[in-house]
Chains A and B, each alone.
Chain A
């Protein structure tokens, strides 16, 4: 008996609520994400922060921001599924839940985790590197869509990685080709938002990021049942 007209939604939210509760108590994933992000952010600001002037520096700043977010995501987002496998709770979860709500719940959890990271890291990055954001709306939309895309692709990759032996390195290796289009689009849009190109150019990049999110989510939902039942 479903409790709502959208049974997937209520079941997905149950997974999200459970993961947030556990994360709030243990901070397994958030600690990994945050420590990596803060360490790299401080290193970057000390090493290149003083040279961040001139139009060509927007290229470097945009790339650095997404490198920090990419590797932070790789450090923490795989925990969602790895933790279930390692603790043996995956059997109870498989017995109780259909695959789709599990994927959506884990995806939403990664979105929340990555958004809470970007809310901290992105303003710090802008301040520490003394950047000026020319297109504020475009910059926020880029960060939003980029983080959503990172979370979407990372979630299905985490499910695959959780089944493998060499979990640590596999996540980054697998995710690189899949996340490359997202990274290129996000870097290009960020560069434009920081004043490194004609303002109109950001629209095409944002559209690309929007469609990347749609394709990543749809493909992940189609694939997940096979990965989950493997």
Chain B
């Protein structure tokens, strides 16, 4: 098992409230890991700690690719995140957003690649519209475009089908299936349809 995510004795407390304690789990390559729990159980916080956006109270999360533990900067290049509180630049068009995220990741940008990815997420023909003019479902699709742009081996999804219609939900199914074939999916959800994808589950009380 050369590629995996190792969560070691992870704990998170806010003031006097403990969200979770001593969570240890290994998420292997080509698998889907699902975090379950009621509202406020700490699902989003758990994902944010994995992404490195929020510090853990104790414990650590290691990303191991080809046997090497990644540094914080390397982790950033290997993760794609879709989350309800992640927003894209509304004053820029979809293509301009993708151009920016390519540039800031140090990747070459091509209009062809942008068109392909926008077509894949169902935004064909809307690439030059400002993201602020999109509906909430279209914004969610755009978040997938941004998260998949650098073809990350690890995809982290918080409420993956939020705001999506039936076609959008089918798109997410496709994305999860494809990602599972080549990497890792970690997602927080309570939707029975999405929970079924999980090879492993963690239930936060």
Contacts and interface: CB of A to CB of B under 8 A. Distances in A.
Contacts of A207: none
Contact of A10 (B85, B91, B103): B103
A93 interface: yes
Contact of B96 (A7, A13, A21): A21
A95 B89 contact: no
A54 interface: no
B101 A96 contact: yes
A7 B108 CA distance: 12
Given A94-B53, A95-B51, A96-B76, A18 B100 contact: yes
A13 B105 CA distance: 12
Interface in B69-123: 73, 76, 79, 81, 83, 85-92, 96, 100-108
A138 B103 CA distance: 38
A17 interface: yes
Interface residues of A, number: 27
A89 B83 CA distance: 11
A211 B123 CA distance: 50
B104 A14 contact: yes
B161 interface: no
A93 B104 CA distance: 8
Contacts of B102: 14
Contacts of B91: 21-22, 25-26
Contacts of A79: none
B104 A95 contact: no
A87 B104 CA distance: 19
B3 interface: no
B72 to A, nearest CB: 9
B79 A87 contact: no
A89 B89 contact: yes
Interface string A6-22: 01001101110110011
A2 interface: yes
Nearest to B108: A3
B107 A3 contact: yes
A89 B87 contact: yes
Given A17-B100, A21-B92, A92 B86 contact: yes
Contact of B86 (A2, A91, A101): A91
A25 B101 CA distance: 19
Interface in A26-63: 26
Contacts of A94: 53
B76 A18 contact: no
A1 interface: yes
A1 B107 contact: yes
A10 B89 CA distance: 20
A10 B105 CA distance: 9
Contacts of B105: 11, 96-97
- Among all A-B residue pairs, the 6 with the closest Cβ atoms: A14-B103, A88-B87, A97-B104, A2-B106, A91-B86, A18-B100
7 contacts: A14-B100, A87-B87, A91-B81, A91-B86, A94-B53, A95-B76, A96-B104
Given A17-B103, A95-B81, 8 more contacts: A18-B103, A22-B89, A87-B87, A88-B86, A89-B89, A91-B85, A95-B76, A97-B76
Interface of A: 1-3, 7, 10-11, 13-15, 17-18, 21-22, 25-26, 87-89, 91-98, 101
